[in-house]
Structures are given as structure tokens and as C-alpha cells.
A and B are shown apart, each in its own frame.
Chain A
């Protein structure tokens, strides 16, 4: 447990803080030398060590470690800077040991400064709890250290680090022949190894050979877990991790409160705590802290306790699974080993959390609730999440269908336990992440899913209601609801088309499934000469179910509509994922990432366009960028 590398770093910081080096003329650091991480490398950084002595026996692994240290030093110093004093040979009395050490020393170009003989004197001094120099006798051994101290006092000659390759090391120490000395054994056609690429200003993508992870699994898992409203979620890490996550969780809470006066409990007051791993835990391990946090949480009798690991708790090796043993009969303790982003990105964290919660909490034998549905895959970050739910709840209620569980949009542990009770499940959106969750529930538990996600736009709403009606044998109720929605939609479209008919619009979007917008724009009599679609996440996209009706859809790489497109099409309105400034007479606006649900989704947007057109749509403020640059550059 804990991180030894961090321990070494901390020890050196401690010595610095207490100005150790100011008090003594010579400071000798006796440290583990094998350079395995940055922490272990601290002692050989230039600001600490003026001279480096390698202590090694003639064992192969000891010499291997000594060679590794030389590699570390060369990384810090380059090929020419001289900082290695030589080798202190600590004899083990192995066969040909002197020869091994000598050959290694010659190969790396270093002197063997002293040979410390294998002697009982060291053990005797240790038993008496004294130094060798305080021991009676042992003059031969003492002389070795006198020689060494005199060498240090005078200041040793220094050499550049010249480590060997593994092959050369084996040749020098074990006497094995170098492969390159045996051309007959090397494949005749083997190409020379590619030179190590030297990073340059133009090679900035080289380190991105692994695609960047979109956020971190810890954050995704925490965002999902806090929506189990009666659970306590424990972030096991430094408070920074919990702080970032809390800001994301609470942001829609604050916005809803400020803009709409709506109080969202799960966002404003999530049951979210942090173990606040500190310096001591980073070095010695954080399990004690975590166990205490879990016990404190259990004492509050929540529905469940969910523990999520961060990069730091993952790196120091805390055994997260061990806390599951603290589970009580009615309160499961659930460990999510997200390890920050080490187990994946934000969406993988969400999947990890949701799948684990289902496995641990859901009762597969829950008695059925005949006329109910589960809503699967509600997103945590949508500011319109609650208003969207109310739209869907109203439509379902009008059909006589209840919501069994919002998975996971604010369900309790008891509701999650009853997840299997609903005969039908509905995806909240047709995204890759939601589909992955659906596949999990279908694959592992045989859940039945409606083949249509929650609807956006009138046509999708009508189809959705019809399918739902067919499943529950409520076709009549469905048609009645559809007629009411149709009437409302047509009335609204008729109203907005009085202002929008004939207006030309172009847009680029990162959204998939935009039929709701395309059909409403067409129904309102608007012209649509260009639609650009950016495949933001490089995953398969379905833009429209009717590509033949919308030949103007093109793939683009520009999330804002380009100036060229504006010049070519001369639109009245252009929309994009990010607002951008264009020319006079063009209304610019954004498209929401998560649109409103129901029949009137597009109408809400159209009302906004009309408002913008009714006002001075290009504010004079837009001309003041030069003033900003004048005063704030």
C-alpha cells in the first residue's frame, strides 16, 4: 500500500524544508537506486546529488540495477555531463565476482573505488547497535571506509554516465556474445531498427497515438452513482477529484434554481463525500481512511454505500474491493474501481457504475408491475432533464402507464431493486452509451426494450405512442393522445410559420437523429439548402431516417458553419453547435446538445428564432471586439 516513490520524494522535501543541506558540508544520501519511477529518481536529480556512487555486488541483478541507475542519470544529465564518481564494490563472495565487477566497470568506464569485503564485522556491529567504526578491531574493514571518506573529502573525479544495453551488459558480466557479433545468426533481411523519433514542433500528435480519453471514469461513475438518491457515494481520492465532480453535479442544480426557481435535490445536495486522501495516505496507503469513511456512511443507514477510486488511490494500490466486506444485510457496500481515468473515460465510468449497480442491487425476481415502464439511460448533465421527464411522464400518464424506475435519473435503491418489475424498458436517447446499457440489460437479464427511444419531435412522438399502445394493448388511448399532440403541433407550427415561412436556414450539428428539426423546419415552410454533420465522437451516426428527403445533408469537419457556406447560401438563419459571428442580416444561434422531448421540441427553438428576429438581432455590441482588444489586450 502507498507509493514508495512518493515516500522518497516526500523525504527529500522534508529535508529541504528543514534546510539540512545548509547545515552540513557533506550530505550522503543512502537510497535505493533502481530507477523505477520519478520518485525513485529524485536522489539522482542534479539539485540533490553532486556525485553519485554506485554500490553493487557482483550478482547479475545488482549489476543490472547499477546499469539502470546509469540510464537514469544519463536521462537527467545527457551524454557529457560528469556526475558519477565510481563503483563501491560490496562483495558477496560469488564465483568470479571480482571479474564480473571489473568487467562491468571497464564496460561503463568507471573506476572501482573500494571493495567492501564480506565480513562478520558488519553483523557484530549491527548486533551491538553501533557503527563499524565504533567496533573494536576490524581494522581492515574500517580502512575501507577511511579510504572512502577521504575520497569524498577530497572530491572524487567524476565521469559521465555511459550505461550498457541489456545485450552489452550480458556480454560484459556473463560473458555472452553480442548478437551483432554473430552476423550469421541474424536474419539477413532484417531491417535496421528505426531511429528513435526526435520530437519536434511539428510532431505534436506523436504523444496522442493513444486517443485522449474524454474525461475520466471516476467522474462518470460518480455522476451516475449520485443519482441513486438514497445512496452515499464516497470519492476515494484527494478532494480535488470530488470538487471537480461536485461542480458538474451541482451546476444544473444552481442553474435550475437561479433561472427557473426549481430545486433539484440530487444536484443541489448530492450524497457525495470525499475521503480527502492527503500526503500521508499517498505514501502509506489510504485504506484506514476509506474504512472509516465507509463506517461513517453506514451509520447513516443509506440505501447503499458506493465507493469510487481516483487516479491517486489507484496508483497507491488501495484494495477497494476489500470494503465490500463491510456490507450490512440491508446496505450493500459497492466498490467501483474506476481508478480515475485508468479504467477508461467518462462514459465508461457511467457504464461501469450502472452495470455494477444493477448487478448488486436489482432483484431479478421482483414481482411484475403490469402497466409500467423503466426509463433507461437518463443523462446526468442535461439542464432540461427534469422538464423533459415531466413531458414524458404526462404522455405516459395519459396512456395509463406508470414509470417504474428512472434508471438512473433520480431513483432510490428500493426503486432500483424493482427494476425487473417493469415489462418494458425505454431508452432515453439513441446514443452509443445508452445502447450499450440496453445491450447489457438485454444480454444479462433478457429485458424487453421498446425499439424507439424517448421521442423528439411530433412524428417521433406519434410513432412512439403508437408502438407503446400496441405493446400494452392501449391503441385507442394512444391514438387519442396522438390526436391531441398533433393538434397542438399543427397549431404551433402554423403560428410560427407565419414568421418563418420562406426563411432560408443552414446549420451544422454534432447531433444524430435530427428528423425532429428537419421535419418541423420543412412543415413551417422554411428553406433548407445545407446541413453539415460533424461526427464528433467518431462513431457511426444516423442523421435521418429519410435521407432521400434531405439531400442537402453533408459531412463536415467544421462545428461552426463556415464563412464560405454563409456566402454561398446567403441564409437568414444559421445554427451551429457553437455560436459564431457572421455577417449582417444573418441570425446566428446554437443548437442544443440535448433537445427538448415531445412533439413541440422544434417549436421551442423556432419561438426563440422569432424572438431574436423581432429584436435587433445583431446587437451593436458585436462591433466592439476591437474596443475589447484595445483595452484588454
Chain B
């Protein structure tokens, strides 16, 4: 039994699967489930990626209409993303195929998109409905993926990894057919695997890693399921290597790409959080791909220098950050990477006990955990590193990975101290 929010009723595999597939631009994910499973995914997805709203066709002279303007006559229920089949008790007895068929026909007729996927909700999965053939029949040319079972109470990252794998297996033949080779480029190219648009700062993290790699002479082909286009998916086999940032989100996909397409992978033990981790990743990748990390090293040194100055200012008046207790809750690999950074670089100490009882001065977690600790009148600073958030709308791009990520986290840590009396 999971306890309430502090032990965290965390997202299930189905949420990982939906947001993996929603991470493809100009795509559409149909949830084969009841409306109760739809709301969270629909309301969340529309804010994850900046992208134009899906449009309904209009006759000449009519005002353009977004799918969310339609109420009951389609499958969107006034929400712009993740339509669903509105399953009810009848469907659990007689099967869901009729509704899936009609929803897919509607989508085919009315909404232009590059990629279509269907995710079975647990109930549909339980009765064994598998819309794969239906999906292929209705979309013979469009690449599709069907997640027949996103699992029961599996983790978010398992759902993500499984969905990306399913996408590669099912859509791969339509995406790249038999021509799986053809790595003909001057600069080395890598795909990035193991990011999810659902993660806080996903876009900033993606852009930071792409920026750093490009400065090292490495081109990024496809950032798989984290804002990629269909065209980028098609070019997956052209890359020289697959870089897995969060291992739990992309390990299986990288292994499959290795087995099927012969693509080597660089799997980070933990994401590149902190200066040392970022430098290690860049140096090792450059060594593998025959490029040079030198162009980025001055930037890294300058960032460290600036951080030293700022940290030293705080240290001189308060002795912090050294010895400060912190607690962290996030994806396992992120917990590891962030803890290493805060421990090794900042000189802080991790409270590894139950986060519900933590006495840490800084807590890195989602807003549910931070809110609950505030309710307990704990004296601490909550630093949001995961969803859900308190509601702060980020406009300027922020990240936790790479050089800029290390600077941002340093800033968060120092401001966490500064809000307290010293």
C-alpha cells in the first residue's frame, strides 16, 4: 500500500506511456479508457510542449476551429489533447473495439496528424482488447503505435520506456523500412533517448544537452519522444550513437536499437547533473565519436568560477552550503545524480531517511511533497524539481542538466539558504 502524497501516489506506467507518445510533434494519442483516465492527461499535456492546437476542418470562410471547441460531438471533450473513447460498463462486457474504430475513423477523417497512437487504460487492458490490427487497418500508411497494456501500478519510467520501445517496434517498419543504414554525414550524429516531456524543465534540459553537444561538434538527430518530429523519427537509424540520459526512461529502447539496427549506445549511469557529470559525459562522448570537448571547457570553467564566487559569498557569512542537510525525491537516477552534485560539489549531506520525516533544510521534490512538509510546519526550503508544481509558470527556459543546469541548481540552493536567518 502506498501512503498518501508523502510516500507519493506517484504516476503510473500509463502516464509514462501517454506522455512518451505525446512527446511526438503533430501526433495524436487516443486513450482507450473512461473519461476519468482522460482529464489528467489532457489537461497536463496541453502545457508540456509549445505547439499549435489541433484544428478541425472548416469550410471556406469559416473561422478556424480548434478541437477543444467541440464539446460532445467528438472524442476530445473540450480539451485540446488526448481524446478518449469514454469507456463505460457496457464496453467492459462487450469489448471496446466499436468505440476505438469510430474514434480512429473520426481522427482519420477530421484531424491531420503525422503519428497516431492508442493507449489502453487498465480496464481495457484487463479485458484483453488489443486495437493493434484495427489501428493498422484504419491507418495503413500513417505510422502508429498501440500500447495494449501499460501495466498495473508500474512506475512512470517503466511506462515511458515500454511505450518508446513499442513505438520503435511497431512504427519502425513504416518509419525507416528496409533502408536502415546510410550513416553518411560529416559530423557525428547522436540521438537522445530517455527524456520525457512530462519531466519538469524537459525542454530546457533537451536544449541544453543539444547546445553542449553541438559545441563539441556533435549533431543531434532525434530527441526521441521529447519533442521530436516524425521526420526526426525517420532519421533515427542515421545516427552514429544513441545517448541515454535517464537510463530508466530509455534503456530498453537503446538495447532494441542496438539489437535491431546495430546502433551503439552510451547509457549514462545517471543524468548529467552538475559540472563534473556534464564534463565527464562530454569528454567521453567526444572520445567515442572522435570530436573534441575543448570548445565547451572554457564555458564550463567560467561557470564554475562564477558559482565559486557566489557560493563563497554565502559561505563567508553562514558557513553554508557545507554540511547542510538536504532531501531529494525524484526519478531514481535523478536522485542519484543530484545527490552526487549536492554532496560532492556543494559539500552538503543527504538525509536518506523517510522524506516524510526529514529535517532537511532543503528539499528537492515535487510540490505535493513540499506542500505536505509545509503543512507539518517544517522549517525548510522546497525546491521543485519534479511535477506537479505549485503552479509557477516558467517562461524563461530553465534546466537542471549540463552547465546551465548546474548553475541554476546552484542558484536554487543558495537562495534556499538566503531565505533563512543565518
| A, B in one complex | yes
Task: Say yes or no: B392 contacts A273, CB within 8 Å.
Answer: no
**Which residue from A8, A268, A275, A341 sits with its C-beta under 8 Å from B34?**
A341
Given contacts A253-B371, A268-B372, A270-B5, 8 further A-B pairs with CB under 8 A are A199-B105, A204-B73, A204-B106, A216-B34, A240-B153, A243-B10, A243-B12, A279-B151
Alpha-carbon distance A376/B39, docked complex (angstroms): 27
From B102, B121, B128, B129, give the contact of A206 (CB < 8 A). B102
B388 contacts A254, C-beta separation under 8 Å: yes
Q: Given A240-B12, A278-B152, A279-B151, is A199 in contact with B102 using a C-beta cutoff of 8 Å?
A: yes
Q: Roughly how many angstroms separate A558 CA and B9 CA in the complex, as a whole number? A: 38
Residue numbers in B under 8 Å from A341 (CB-CB)? 34-36, 87-89
A215 to B40, CA, bound (A): 11
Q: Among residues 189 to 230 in chain A, which have CB atoms less than 8 Å away from a CB atom of chain B?
A: 199-208, 210-216, 218-219
Q: B160 contacts the other chain (Cβ, under 8 Å)?
A: no
B2 within 8 A of A: yes
Contacts of B128 in A (CB 8 A): 5-6, 8-9, 37-42
Distance in Å: Cβ of A487 to nearest Cβ of chain B: 37
Q: Name the distance in Å between A338's Cβ and chain B's nearest Cβ.
A: 10
Q: How large is the interface on B (under 10, 10 to 19, 20 to 34, 35 or more residues)?
A: 35 or more
Stretch at the interface among B91-99, B171-179, B181-189, B282-290: B91-99
Decide: A270 and B89 in contact? CB cutoff 8 A. no
Q: Known contacts being A38-B128, A254-B391, A312-B152, is A239 close to B10, with CB within 8 Å?
A: yes
Q: Which residues of A contact B (CB under 8 A)?
A: 3, 5-6, 8-9, 13, 37-42, 45-46, 76, 199-208, 210-216, 218-219, 234, 237-244, 246-248, 250-251, 253-255, 257-259, 263, 265, 268-279, 281-282, 289, 292-293, 296, 310-312, 315-316, 339-343, 345-346, 559-560, 563, 628-629, 632-633
B122–A38 contact, CB under 8 A? no
Is A240 within 8 A of B2, CB to CB? no
Residues of B within 8 A of A310 (CB): 122
B52 touches A628 (CB 8 A): yes
Residues A279 and B12 in contact in the complex (CB < 8 Å), given A199-B105, A244-B36: no
Q: In the complex, how many angstroms separate the beta carbon of B134 from the nearest chain A beta carbon?
A: 11
Q: Which of A200, A215, A239, A257 contacts B153 (CB 8 A)?
A: A239
Closest A residue to B392 by beta carbon equals A258
Tell whether, in the assembled complex, residue A242 and residue B9 are in contact, meaning their CB atoms are under 8 Å apart: yes
Bound-state Cα–Cα, A304 to B234, Å: 56
B115, CB-defined interface residue at 8 Å: no
CB of B37 within 8 A of CB of A282, answer no
Closest to A42 in B: B128
The residues of B that contact A199 with a CB separation of less than 8 Å are 98, 101-102, 105
Binding site for A on B (CB under 8 A): 1-6, 9-15, 34-37, 39-40, 50-52, 63, 69, 71-75, 77, 85-90, 92, 95, 98-99, 101-103, 105-106, 108-110, 121-123, 125-130, 133, 149, 151-154, 367-368, 371-372, 374-375, 388-392
Chain B hits for A204, CB < 8 A: 73-75, 102-103, 105-106, 109
Bound: A292/B71 CA distance, A: 43
Whose C-beta in chain B lies nearest to the C-beta of A12?
B128
Structural contact, A9 and B149, CB atoms closer than 8 A: yes
Whether the pair B12, A239 counts as a contact (CB closer than 8 A) is: yes
Whether A246 lies near B372 (C-beta < 8 A) is no
Do A247 and B127 touch across chains, with their CB atoms under 8 A apart? no
**Shortest Cβ distance from A83 into chain B, in angstroms?**
14
Chain B: minimal CB distance from A260 (Å): 11
A266 to B122, CA, bound (A): 28
Given contacts A6-B128, A311-B92, whether A340 and B123 have CB atoms under 8 Å apart is: yes
Residues in A with CB closer than 8 Å to B389 are: 254
B152 engages A311 (CB within 8 Å): no
Q: Which of B36, B51, B74, B87 contacts A219 (CB 8 A)?
A: B36
